[in-house]
Amino acid sequence: MTERVVLAYSGGLDTSVCIGWIAEATGAEVVAVAVDVGQGGEDLEAIRERALACGAVEAEVADARDEFAEGHCLPAVRANALYMDRYPLVSALSRPVIVEHLVAAARRHGAGVVAHGCTGKGNDQVRFEAGIASLAPDLRCIAPVRDYAMTRDKAIAFAEEKGLPIATTRKSPYSIDQNVFGRAVETGFLEDIWNGPVEDLYEYTADPATPREADEVVITFDKGAPVAIDGRPVTVLQAIRELNERAGAQGVGRIDMVEDRLVGIKSREVYEAPGAIALITAHRELESVTVERELARFKRGVEQRWAELVYDGLWFSPLKRALDGFVNETNEHVCGDIRMTLHGGRAVVTGRRSERSLYDFDLATYDTGDTFDQSMAKGFIEIFGLSGKIAAKRDLAR
């Protein structure tokens, strides 16, 4: 029986060329698998037909938008996940759901190899291959761009020689990856980190400097999940989409940063993630009202480690699974409403309310009705500062 290779297929030049390239290099049949995580563009049927026209023996498409939103974006919101305190893991979150579909397809089609179109320079090769190794350690991975030195020039020449139904001459100055949670742009003139981003590279966000009326929004959460916007019930996917539109129209979610890649190099990236930033901002504020102080302090360290694990491609790792349990527990009481003003590139919280709130007005107020017994403070301070006081006496006596 001819060996089969399951290919993560995007419909673009590189992965279209990979179909014939793999067949010639290995003699294997190629099954193309395209996964929709809200990246937009062409419809899935057109992508499936292109894969077949490029030589795939079979082609599958999967609508994973709700799966991605519920199973990957929502955990990131609950974890307030921002890699290097800024990047909401737009690309990193989508790779595990693609991996799950690739492994399932490999099982269905009896394939022993999974292929992807990543280079040897980025993070995605690790995310794909580490994820596949965790779910199916018996499967082997190949990456034609990396393993067979499939440069863009070679890919174009191959496509023209074989008459593949794919545009081979038009090239964007940027490398772009996008899904419903956000959009990532790199390469081109952005590789000079002194160059500022130009307006035409943005699609999800409007220019925040353009004068416009502010937009006020109320987001309702239940156990850390957005369940309503302005009182209207929404799914997680619907919440992300609506906030992409509303926050994006106000220029919220633009990020220009130099990040530390897993492979050891620094890379300049421009992101736009209006829905993600709005949701994380609102969720974090609701946590400040509903999560106990020591738990909240500890969670901040967990959030950073969670984001690093996901960024590094360790979504399926034992540590990531264990931290998921902690994050879910901390979100048990994160229920209530956050009111935000979206304007001028910022999402600013202006109101909070929750039946699970730990905020006690009578304890917090300085007016009549204050129930905080201030007479206890003096003794508390004496005991709290005692160890430092003892150490200071010793040190000053030397």
CA nearest neighbour of 77 among 282, 227, 293, 308? 282
Name the residue among 98, 351, 93 with its Cα closest to residue 236. Answer: 93
Across 213-345, the runs of DSSP E, i.e. the strands, are: 215-222, 225-229, 232-233, 254-260, 266-272, 336-343
Per-chain mean pLDDT for the chain: 93
- Catalytic positions are 14, 95, 124, 175
* Residues contributing to the annotated binding site for L-citrulline: 87, 123, 127, 175, 259, 271
pLDDT in tens, 282-327: 999 999 999 999 999 999 999 999 999 999 999 999 999 999 999 9
Q: Are 75 and 267 a contacting pair, CB within 8 Å?
A: no
106 contacts 131 by C-beta, under 8 angstroms:
no
pLDDT score of 337 more than 60: yes
CA-nearest of 202, 207, 211 to 272 is 202
- Tokens linked to 212: 């416009």
Q: Could you tell me the pLDDT band of residue 43, with boundaries at 50, 70 and 90? A: confident
> Rounded distance, CA 127 to CA 20, Å?
24
8 A C-beta contact, residue 88 and residue 82:
yes
Annotated binding site: 8-16, 87, 117, 119, 123-124, 127, 175, 259, 271
Tens-place pLDDT, residues 225-238: 999 999 999 999 99
Domains of the chain: 4-171 (3.40.50.620), 176-291+333-353 (3.90.1260.10), 361-396 (1.20.5.470)
Q: In terms of Cα–Cα distance, which of 232, 241, 344, 223 is closest to 283?
A: 223
What confidence tier does 266 reach under pLDDT thresholds 50, 70, 90?
very high
Q: Provide mean pLDDT across the span 8-12.
A: 89
Global pTM value: 0.93
- For the chain, percent helix, then strand, then coil, each to nearest 5? 45, 20, 35
- Residue written as tokens 């062409």? 42
Instruction: Give the torsion through C-alpha atoms of 253, 257, 260, 261, to 10 deg.
Output: 70
Q: Contact at 8 Å (CB) between 349 and 282? A: yes
CB 291 within 8 A of CB 334: yes
Pairing of strands 254-260, 58-63: unpaired
Binding positions for L-aspartate are 119, 123-124
Q: 163 and 54 in contact (C-beta within 8 Å)? A: no
List, in sequence order, every residue forming a beta bridge with 351; answer none if it has no partner: 339
Q: Give residue 301's pLDDT.
A: 98
* Backbone Cα Rg of the chain: 25
Binding annotation for ATP = 8-16, 117
Residue type, 6: V
Mean pLDDT, rounded, for 21-50: 90
Number of other CB atoms surrounding residue 166 within 10 Å: 20
Per DSSP, the residues of 207-229 read -TTS----EEEEEEEETTEEEEE
Does the pLDDT of residue 169 top 60, yes or no? no
Amino acid at 312: D
Q: pLDDT of 95-126, one tens digit each?
A: 999 999 999 999 999 999 999 988 888 899 99
